[in-house]
Structure formats: C-alpha cells, structure tokens
Amino acid sequence: MDVKLIHQIEEQIGLTFYENESEGNLCFLENQSEMKNEFKSGFTLSDFRYFIGSFSDGKVEIPNDVEEFWERVAMGKLK
C-alpha cells in the first residue's frame, strides 16, 4: 500500500481513504459498494487497488477529480 499516493489522492479529489471497508457514509456503512459513486465520501483499499490496476504501463497518475478516480476504479475492475 502506497500511503503517500493515497494521501495525494485524498488531497487532490477530496475523498477520504477508509482502511476499514465498513467506514464511511452513514447510511451505507455495510454496503458502500452498492452506493452510487457521486454519493461516496471515501474510498477503500479495494478501490485503491482497482485504481492502481487501471494503469497498464505502471505509471500511476493522480486523478483530476472524483469522476476520473471512479472511472479508473471501474476500469481496474474490468481487468
């Protein structure tokens, strides 16, 4: 886990990293994966790994916004 990269993502896009998969949004503490991305207040280690996995050349870029982050997560899930 790259803590420095996680902090850069948090600062750039305003999401919080939750080490515990059940932390985060009040209504969906146990089911955050079912929540629409625009309502999520943070990301998990699984999300982070999918994000990293979306870069085929190994050069990870900090996303410009929340939408780009979640698009990358979705791309990583498809690999």
Both structure tokens of 68 = 């780009």
Residue 28 one-letter amino acid: F
- So where are the chain's domains? 3-23+36-78
Q: How far apart are CA 61 and CA 73, in angstroms?
A: 13
Rounded average pLDDT over 18-26: 64
DSSP letter at 54 equals T
Hey, CA dihedral for 7, 12, 16, 17, is it positive or negative? negative
Structure pTM?
0.83
Task: Label residue 19 by pLDDT band (50, 70, 90).
Answer: confident
How many alpha carbons fall within 13 Å on the CB side of residue 68? 11
Residue 8 predicted with pLDDT over 90: yes
Give me the pLDDT at residue 77, please. Answer: 94
pLDDT greater at residue 43 or residue 35? 43
pLDDT at 27 over 70: no
What pLDDT was estimated at residue 33?
A: 60
